[in-house]
């Protein structure tokens, strides 16, 4: 009959609509689940040192009241646990601040070579405690980067700090700075990329290499997730929060850069940050000239 094909068409349309709706719900559910997991993880990470603190306070006010030796030992542990909570809260605050302005582009112009030198100076003592030497290679004549100085400092601080923590004693951590092509804009079409490139100086690459245990391939895709650790007990013992690389990834994204990780178990790891250079001042001026 003439009505049948029309009815079939209608059924097809309804099916397609239903599929699209399901996809949307899945995405929303997944992001809700991730948020819930994050809050649960953060609470758990805070609760553990907090219970330790409460336990020691009770002991110090009760059974260990007059035991001077115990008091000193317990206070040292309490200080360590309070430090852990404080690092965690600082990292959580950093993450939420970075998330808030993730979709705005940073405006300052940064000399990354200088910034890396000051991070190295800050971490040299910590490296020396593990008999590790931090060596910086290259960095002369790098283009400036359009970036937030505090955030980029945090990136290299986290990467070099990890290299010191997870590197073997008595080895070198090598930081290499070099010119590179600008990283491809995430999700950009060929046309947009071509339009953007003439205003940009080529980019830079900064890599941090350690001689440590390395990371098995299976862990690499999840390494920048919040609270993801290869060995949670070891990370905690070294003072880690499990948030460092998540912070690095968010900041690098905000700077339209790329983070890549190369690692070989038993040998060590290289974390590379690839950032676009800032606009050339002369071209900025010319653009302004054209507009006025």
Kindly state the smallest distance separating residue 147's Cβ from ligand ADP, in Å. Answer: 20
210 binds ligand ADP (CB under 6 A): yes
φ, ψ dihedrals at 23, nearest 5°: -60, -45
154 binds ligand ADP (CB under 6 A): no
φ, ψ dihedrals at 271, nearest 5°: -105, 125
Measured from the Cβ of residue 124, the count of other Cβ atoms closer than 10 Å reads: 15
Q: How far apart are CA 129 and CA 127, in angstroms?
A: 5
DSSP state of 200: B
Q: How far apart are CA 246 and CA 252, in angstroms?
A: 10
241 binds ligand ADP (CB under 6 A): yes
The piece of 14-22, 34-42, 98-106, 229-237 that touches ligand ADP (CB under 6 A) is: 229-237
Pick between residue 173 and residue 275 the one whose CB is nearest to ligand ADP.
173
**Two structure tokens written together for 197:** 């490139």
What is the Cβ-side half-sphere exposure of residue 247, based on CA atoms within 13 angstroms?
25
Kindly state the smallest distance separating residue 158's Cβ from ligand ADP, in Å. Answer: 6
Q: Which of residues 245-274 bind ligand ADP (CB under 6 A)?
A: 245-246, 269
Kindly state the smallest distance separating residue 185's Cβ from ligand ADP, in Å. Answer: 26
Contact by Cβ (8 Å): 252, 155 = yes
Q: Which of residues 17-46 bind ligand ADP (CB under 6 A)?
A: none
Residues forming contacts to ligand ADP in the complex (CB under 6 A) are 158, 162-163, 166, 210, 212-213, 215, 223, 229-231, 235, 240-246, 269
């Amino acid at each position: 009959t003439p009505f049948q094909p029309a009815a079939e068409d209608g059924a097809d349309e309804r099916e397609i609509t239903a599929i699209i709706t399901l996809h949307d719900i899945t995405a929303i559910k997944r992001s809700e689940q991730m948020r819930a997991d994050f809050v649960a993880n953060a609470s758990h990470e805070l609760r553990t040192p907090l219970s330790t603190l409460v336990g020691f306070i009770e002991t110090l006010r009760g059974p260990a009241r007059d035991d001077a030796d115990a008091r000193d030992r317990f206070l040292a542990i309490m200080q360590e646990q309070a430090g852990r909570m404080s690092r965690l809260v600082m990292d959580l605050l950093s993450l939420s601040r970075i998330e808030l302005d993730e979709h705005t582009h940073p405006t300052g112009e940064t000399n990354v070579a200088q910034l890396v030198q000051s991070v190295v100076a800050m971490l040299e003592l910590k490296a020396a405690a593990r008999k590790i030497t931090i060596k910086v290679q290259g960095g002369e004549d790098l283009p400036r980067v359009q970036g937030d100085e505090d955030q980029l400092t945090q990136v290299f601080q986290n990467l070099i700090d990890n290299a010191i923590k997870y590197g073997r004693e008595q080895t070198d951590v090598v930081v290499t700075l070099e010119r590179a092509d600008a990283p491809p804009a995430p999700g950009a079409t060929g046309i947009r990329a071509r339009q953007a490139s003439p205003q940009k100086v080529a980019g830079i690459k900064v890599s941090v290499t350690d001689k440590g245990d390395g990371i098995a391939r299976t862990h690499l895709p999840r390494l920048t997730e919040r609270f993801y650790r290869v060995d949670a007990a070891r990370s905690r013992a070294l003072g880690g929060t499990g948030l460092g690389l998540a912070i690095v990834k968010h900041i690098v994204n905000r700077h339209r850069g790329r983070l890549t990780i190369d690692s070989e178990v038993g040998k060590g790891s290289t974390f590379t940050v690839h950032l676009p250079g800032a606009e050339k001042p002369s071209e900025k001026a010319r653009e302004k000239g054209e507009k006025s």
